[in-house]
Amino acid sequence: MKNNSVRRTDLLSTGDMARFVARGFLRFDGLIPDEINRDFLERIMRDEVRSHPPGTPLAECYATCPPIGALLRLPKVAGMIQSLVGLNPLFDHHAVHHCPPHQARAQDTHADSIVDVRSTAFDIQLMYYPHEVTASMGGTRYIPGSHFRRINEMAIARYQNIAGQQHVVCPAGTLLIMHHGIWHGGGCNRSGESRYMLKIRLNPTCRQVRLWNTDDLAALSVGPAAIFDPDAYRHQDRIQTLFERPEKWFPMDESRLETVNRIRLWRALIDDPEFDSHYWLSRLENQPE
């Protein structure tokens, strides 16, 4: 596939990026057209979907799999990729996930790869669902807000259920974009039909700084007038408000640590070391000499 810069309006918005930083994913139901979905499913059945060596420029991939090339060239998809990992990302790997019918159990919850100590750079994983996924088909399970947790792969398998866990029950053509650290697992397919999903991992080749449409950055960066100012919580779309919102499963003493993790990644993404929310880091960084 060939990759060219997209129109500014096809890039992610600041709100999208802030939600990605806060929760670790973006989901777009039914985004991919049916002709791509059908073509891709037929190629899976014919075992025609080939991978590429890790580190291959994405622009050089999928010449032999036109539906995936077409998917990646869709302006909205190309805009998401460019917003998150830049114009010329590298292909890391892909996997066609096939869950056969009548499964007796699910894949355990895990984070992909191995423990990742990068604090600002991140990979993304595109999860593409070419057909409808019903509740009985299970779908991918993922844990919003888990992406900053430094754990190693399957060590979290003991956590069978986590409050607020999500199951990708979706129409055909749904795309889920995840931060590489998100906890997830394949759901148990209790239905009588196979379930398919394509996952593609992409690496950035540039600093991930202001790659999205930042036209609304200033408007959404209005911090609270005072700590615990109730007015701040009435503006749900503001960055600081998004970063203060805990997931249902966050341990009580770690909600603020997760806010700090979000602030730190946002500082890197907007290249502003002084960005803060509710004074969490400014207070700690005050060391008069």
The residues binding another protein (CB under 8 A) are 104-109, 138, 141, 148-151, 155-163, 165, 167, 185, 187-188, 248-254, 257-258, 260-261
Other Cβ atoms less than 10 A from the Cβ of 131: the count is 21
Question: What span, in angstroms and rounded, lies between the C-alpha atoms of 161 and 22?
Answer: 21
DSSP category for residue 159:
-
The nearer residue to another protein, 86 or 185, going by C-beta atoms, is 185
We find the least distance from the C-beta atom of residue 108 to another protein, in angstroms, to be 5
We find the least distance from the C-beta atom of residue 248 to another protein, in angstroms, to be 7
We find the least distance from the C-beta atom of residue 197 to another protein, in angstroms, to be 15
- Residue holding tokens 């500082």? 267
- Partnered with residue 97 across adjacent β-strands are 197
Q: Is the dihedral of CA 159, 164, 169, 173 positive or negative?
A: negative
We find the least distance from the C-beta atom of residue 251 to another protein, in angstroms, to be 6
The nearer residue to another protein, 36 or 162, going by C-beta atoms, is 162
The nearer residue to another protein, 57 or 159, going by C-beta atoms, is 159
CA angle 179, 145, 30 (to 5 degrees): 60
- 120 closest CA partner among 245, 22, 259, 267: 267
Question: What span, in angstroms and rounded, lies between the C-alpha atoms of 211 and 87?
Answer: 9
The nearer residue to another protein, 7 or 98, going by C-beta atoms, is 98
The nearer residue to another protein, 114 or 225, going by C-beta atoms, is 114
Other Cβ atoms less than 10 A from the Cβ of 154: the count is 13
Question: What span, in angstroms and rounded, lies between the C-alpha atoms of 262 and 276?
Answer: 10
We find the least distance from the C-beta atom of residue 229 to another protein, in angstroms, to be 24
The nearer residue to another protein, 78 or 263, going by C-beta atoms, is 263
We find the least distance from the C-beta atom of residue 241 to another protein, in angstroms, to be 21
